[in-house]
Amino acid sequence: MSRWEPGARERLVAAAAELFLERGYEATTVGEIAARAGVTERTFFRHFADKREVLFGDPEAYNSVFTDAIAAAPMDALPLDAVAAALRASGGFFAGRHRYARIRQRIIDANPALQEREQMKRLHLTEAIADALRARGVRDPIARLTAELGTVSFHQAFTRWVAAEEERDLGDLAVGVLGEVRAAAA
Amino acid sequence: MSRWEPGARERLVAAAAELFLERGYEATTVGEIAARAGVTERTFFRHFADKREVLFGDPEAYNSVFTDAIAAAPMDALPLDAVAAALRASGGFFAGRHRYARIRQRIIDANPALQEREQMKRLHLTEAIADALRARGVRDPIARLTAELGTVSFHQAFTRWVAAEEERDLGDLAVGVLGEVRAAAA
């Protein structure tokens, strides 16, 4: 088995999702995930710190979906418009991941420790978006609060996207929720 | 030692905060917390499920500070005004807890598992506020999104309140941040 076997990470994620659904999250071991993916446990731990992390991807790559879009927004865009661009960009990232996202959500909803980790992911995304806004010269508290409005919108849109018979683009949904947030704040 | 010794819970909280500061959170045991508070370990576990919970109080009592104020708002109050009343009510709850809140925050900031728990507390508060708004006839998505605006405001205010030389009433600060949130969303 090659040390840098291509696709090992993706196979581990898929194998973990299958096993968590079949046996439950608690009952599944790292060894079983590695075996199902056709790699060694050592390979698992080259990609993920522990069993939980297999469901949370690469935080840098995830946050960059949003922060790259903010950096790319026109310099005269308002902070909230830059955040709207970030929400729209999330659609492309999640396209093709709808089925996996629903399976993953069912697993997370059944496990408090995973819900805690999910909340931290949200906090880190908020902080990354706030930093991206600050890098454009947006000052606090506007940078932080605009970032919070963005992650509230994204996570509400995500909840709808994974819960119901919702096939629309996640980015479109999130931009729509941002509009609802603005109406709620008016 | 009486089974229902008055004040045991409060003494356990104070003892835990002292020990966490002196020795660090990880190095402190439940037995040490109980001994410092002058109670048995069994008494500790009558009040708290584990060491972590000693820092997170009674979630029902905490959420009620906000939800009781929402229930008590005039029936013709707008959702955001009912939430503002809840933020103002937090000031009374936290008055006299400033020193403890700062000590507690330092402990939480040093421990990722406690930060995760803190984020869950925030999520549960958001859900409780949304439910309190729904009980007033506010419909989704307004109920949920207005609740999110409330907890964003509260937690930003709380961060300022524990971080700096900030001696103003937490409720006043939180209502002020809600105004900033509304400006950021405008």
Average pLDDT over residues B123-135: 97
State the pLDDT at residue A166: 81
Pair A31, A52: CB distance under 8 Å: no
B140 φψ region: left (φ > 0), alpha (ψ -120 to 50), beta (else):
beta
- Residue in the block written with tokens 């959702």: B79
pLDDT tens per residue across span A76-90: 999 999 999 999 999
In the structure, what pLDDT confidence band is assigned to residue A164 with cuts at 50, 70 and 90?
A: confident
* A149/B177 Cβ within 8 A: no
The angle formed by the CA atoms of residues B118, B142 and B157, to the nearest 5 degrees, is 35
Chain B residues whose CB is inside 8 A of the A176 CB are: none
Alpha carbon of B132: minimum distance to chain A alpha carbons (Å):
16
Q: How far is B138 from chain A (nearest CA, A)?
A: 11
Cβ <8 Å between A149 and B185:
yes
Which chain B residues touch A87 with a CB distance below 8 Å?
A: none
| b/e code B68-104 from CB counts within 10 Å (16+ = b) | ebbeebeeeeebbebbbbbbbbbbebbeeeeeeeebb
| Beta-carbon count within 10 A of A49 CB | 9
B-chain residues near A184 (CB < 8 A): 79-80, 141-142, 145-146, 149
Burial class (CB in 10 A: 0-12, 13-18, 19+), B6: exposed
A121-135 burial by CB neighbour count: b if 16+ within 10 A, else e?
bbbebbebbbebbee
Mean pLDDT of B34-39: 96
pLDDT recorded at residue B96: 86
At residue B14, does pLDDT exceed 60? yes
Residue of A53, A121, A152 to mutate when probing chain B, most B C-beta within 10 A: A152
In this predicted model, what pLDDT tens digit does every residue of A90-102 receive, in sequence order? 999 999 889 889 9
Say how far apart CA A146 and CA A151 lie, in whole Å: 9
CB contact under 8 A, B145 and A122: no
Model confidence pLDDT, tens digit, residues B134-164: 999 999 999 999 999 999 999 999 999 998 7
pLDDT at A2 over 50: no
Alpha helices, DSSP H, located in B5-141:
8-23, 30-37, 41-47, 59-72, 79-94, 98-109, 112-135
